[in-house]
Copies of this chain bind each other. A is one copy, B any other.
Amino acid sequence: MNSSLRLVTSPEPGVSRYATLAQALRARVVAGEWSPGSALPAESQLAKEHGVALGTMRRALELLVEQGFIERIHGRGTFVRQGLAGASMLRFFRFDSGTGEVPVSRILQRSRVSAPAAVSRALGIGAGEPVLRVHRLRLMAEQPRLFEELWLPLDLFAPLADDDLASWDDLLYPMFARKLQVHIHRALDDIGFGQLSAAQARHLGLPAGHPCAQVQRSAYDLSGRCVELRITRGDAHAFHYTVNIT
């Protein structure tokens, strides 16, 4: 029964057989059958389970590789990709002190709030639904460098609303995976420029109105749901980013 459910008998019009198959494999990952970092069964086994030719299964797996969903490790097999590690804000900034270390995180504030309109839109939840709002500071060599505001939908993140902040890691994404089985799979960072409010500036030890780079991140879990909205602000003069154009 289980295996017949997986037969790819009627692909949607306009969607190729292997794209439909890729979707079905993805659903098995989202359902938790294979967790991030774990190996997939052999291609021949998967082809048998889904009742398709080996070639069709190979094309479906290739598509998932292109989508960054799985990866092949030469000589070892095919694995569900690990989520993002989370230190990536540093790709946008260069601080004197920065020698590759993970910034230390200091949580300034954590509270349940009703989602403002822009937040509920970004997170795809109803207006005013409860979210967890977190303000945190990130320090390098004991200097505050980045000020972050995070909004997390409470239906997924409720366990983080009351737990001991001392148990929080400097890197949030591995913690989301460990504590909540929420795996951040991809993110969109929107870079803009602005000026620090008095409160933001105070946290960063800069004058109010100081120019800042601001990165608005939308982060998505394995199922493609936006599960985090984050705005990171840092000194505009420390901003640096390189784009390769071909």
Residues of A within 8 A of B (CB): 68, 84, 88, 185-194, 211, 213, 236-237, 239-246
Contacts and interface: CB of A to CB of B under 8 A. Distances in A.
Given A193-B193, A193-B211, A211-B211, A188 B240 contact: no
Contacts of A68: 246
A245 B187 contact: yes
A187 B245 CA distance: 5
A115 to B, nearest CB: 23
A244 B186 CA distance: 8
A35 to B, nearest CB: 18
B237 A193 contact: yes
A243 B193 contact: no
A55 to B, nearest CB: 18
A239 B192 contact: yes
A241 B191 contact: yes
Contact of A186 (B188, B194, B242, B246): B246
A217 B100 CA distance: 25
